Structure 1
Amino acid sequence: MAVTGPAQEPGTQDEWRRRVLADPGLILDDPELMRALVLTSERAMGGNVVDLRAMAMERLETRLERLDETHRAVIAAAYENLSATNQVHRAFLRLLDAEKFDDFVLALGGDVAQILRVDNLRLVLESADTGGNLGPLSRVLVVRPAGFVASYMSAGRPTPPRPIVLRQGEPPAQNPYGNKAHDLRSEALISLDLGKGRLPGMLAMGAEDPHHFKPGQGTDLIGFFAGAFERVLRRWLA
């Protein structure tokens, strides 16, 4: 008795042929099928023939793959930027809910820090009097002598610091984070202009993730948050 292989029945082949003729996209939209057809055509032509059409198709396929990768990267970046924008808006709205200065400061180190996904957030104010008892506010508010902000943001260098500094590594010894500093591996430092006749301030955001803040990152959203924060803080200090 003869044994036959798994070849398709003529009816099945005819049905597949009709489907392809009715909708060639079944093959044209399938990269693996198209690649198999091109390879079969090349083998049929022999080794002495150069198929420029096949080479052009390969290049177009490579360009299409790169375009798809770029498209996915742009979408991911746009989504990340939208998410960060929403975070900044939520954080600032939370600050606007405060009805007292103490609530404003404590919200900064609590809910706002969580919304912004930073592990430690401190408000530094320069003052001639650094010996006062801040009570519960000391968890967030840090008072330092005049010149501290510029010195810390510039890492002790004589050059004036930029308004926003992003850097990686464990914070320097004279940091505003207290006993939490040894866990931090990146930070964002934002200078605050508190108005004419007042010493400057600083927002210090520390993160345990060494890549959370790093040089070269965009600072537009941080700059927006800082500008809005300055204006509200000036009113509280008025």
Structure 2
Amino acid sequence: MSDIDRDLEKLSAHEVAAWLRRHPRFLEQFTDLALSLVVPREEGKTTSLAHYQLEVLRDKNRELNRRLHELFHNAQENERLTVRTHQLTLALMRQRSAADTLRAMVATLGEDFQGDAVSVVLHAPVAGLEDAPWLQVIARDAAVLEPFRTFFAEGEPLCGRLQPEKTALLFGERQDEVQSTALLPLGIRGMLAVGSHDPNRFYPGMGTLFLRLMSEALLAALERFDGE
């Protein structure tokens, strides 16, 4: 009997396990042992250590492939959003008035970003948009905007299912159609909301980088007409 065998006989099961963890290459010296060891499976059967290791590797490979496909899908989606956001920015900068800029923004959100309902709330009127069905002009200190005070103070995009009073203010008669909303801050000018029939389209915790970029692009485009 070798010294190793004599030492192992004196060890408890936990000590053997701890020793093997410290010596992961131990079975290279005893290949017959590696082939004869059995490992319990969840269904109660046993399998050889080599087969068990193979199954573990296959499981890990499947998980890695799943994550790779997920990353690839996310990369494709981010690329599409990047292109659309860039095109939106160019379209906004080509407009010749504040009214046309807002019309272009609303149209793009509905067509290219699949927004089912778009609503804009401004604190001051914009010439040429007196009859726009998607626009409301509400003073900054109006009581009806009280539910949005935290949103205005934080100045960050907000996604998810809004409280009923917020949805009612933004979408009026269409409030029952809107199941989730992306709310974009427009600085001291107001806010813009994109509503979706899909309750999972906009959700708390989703990335808001592109929403922030769109909001900043709109503000930059509108600043060109300040004072006119």
TM-score normalised by length of structure 1: 0.65
Provide the secondary structure at the position in 2 that maps to 1:182: coil
Alignment counterpart, residue 183 of structure 1, candidates 177, 185, 188: 177
After TM superposition, give the deviation of residue 50 of structure 1 in Å.
Answer: 5.9
**Match in the other structure for 2:216:** 227
Contact kept, 8 Å, 2:101 with 2:221, in 1: the verdict is no
Q: 1:152 to 1:134 in 2, by over 3 A?
A: farther
Number of aligned positions between the proteins: 182
Name which structure has the greater RCO, CA cutoff 8 Å, separation 6+.
2
Contact kept, 8 Å, 2:85 with 2:210, in 1: the verdict is yes
Aligned partner letter, 2:221: V
**Match in the other structure for 2:201:** 212
Structure 1 residues 53-92: aligned runs within 5 Å:
53-92=50-89
Alignment counterpart, residue 106 of structure 1, candidates 103, 106, 118: 103
* CA–CA separation in structure 2 for the residues paired with 1:206 and 1:67: 35
**Match in the other structure for 2:146:** 151
* CA–CA separation in structure 1 for the residues paired with 2:104 and 2:47: 71
Contact kept, 8 Å, 1:186 with 1:209, in 2: the verdict is yes
**Match in the other structure for 1:164:** 157
Contact kept, 8 Å, 1:125 with 1:201, in 2: the verdict is yes
After TM superposition, give the deviation of residue 204 of structure 1 in Å.
Answer: 1.4
After TM superposition, give the deviation of residue 147 of structure 1 in Å.
Answer: 3.1
Q: 1:169 to 1:176 in 2, by over 3 A?
A: closer
1:52 equivalenced with 2:41 (yes/no): no
* CA–CA separation in structure 2 for the residues paired with 1:237 and 1:69: 50
**Match in the other structure for 2:225:** 236
**Match in the other structure for 2:13:** none
Contact kept, 8 Å, 2:92 with 2:217, in 1: the verdict is no
The CA RMSD measured in Å over matched residues stands at 3.2
Contact kept, 8 Å, 2:91 with 2:104, in 1: the verdict is yes
Provide the secondary structure at the position in 1 that maps to 2:112: helix
* CA–CA separation in structure 1 for the residues paired with 2:210 and 2:95: 22
Q: 1:62 to 1:144 in 2, by over 3 A?
A: same
After TM superposition, give the deviation of residue 162 of structure 1 in Å.
Answer: 4.7
Q: 1:109 to 1:53 in 2, by over 3 A?
A: same
After TM superposition, give the deviation of residue 170 of structure 1 in Å.
Answer: 6.9
* CA–CA separation in structure 2 for the residues paired with 1:159 and 1:235: 23
Aligned partner letter, 2:55: E
Aligned partner letter, 1:124: V
Aligned partner letter, 1:164: P
TM-score normalised by length of structure 2: 0.67
* CA–CA separation in structure 2 for the residues paired with 1:164 and 1:75: 26
List per-residue Cα deviations over 1:62-115 (Å, max 9, x = no partner). 111111111111111111111222222222222223223332222222234211
* CA–CA separation in structure 2 for the residues paired with 1:103 and 1:200: 16
- Consecutive unaligned residues in structure 2, runs of 5 or more: 1-34, 37-45
Same amino acid, percent of matched pairs: 23
1:142 equivalenced with 2:136 (yes/no): yes
Q: 1:109 to 1:158 in 2, by over 3 A?
A: closer
* CA–CA separation in structure 2 for the residues paired with 1:159 and 1:231: 18
Contact kept, 8 Å, 2:99 with 2:129, in 1: the verdict is no
Structure 1 residues 24-35: aligned runs within 5 Å:
none
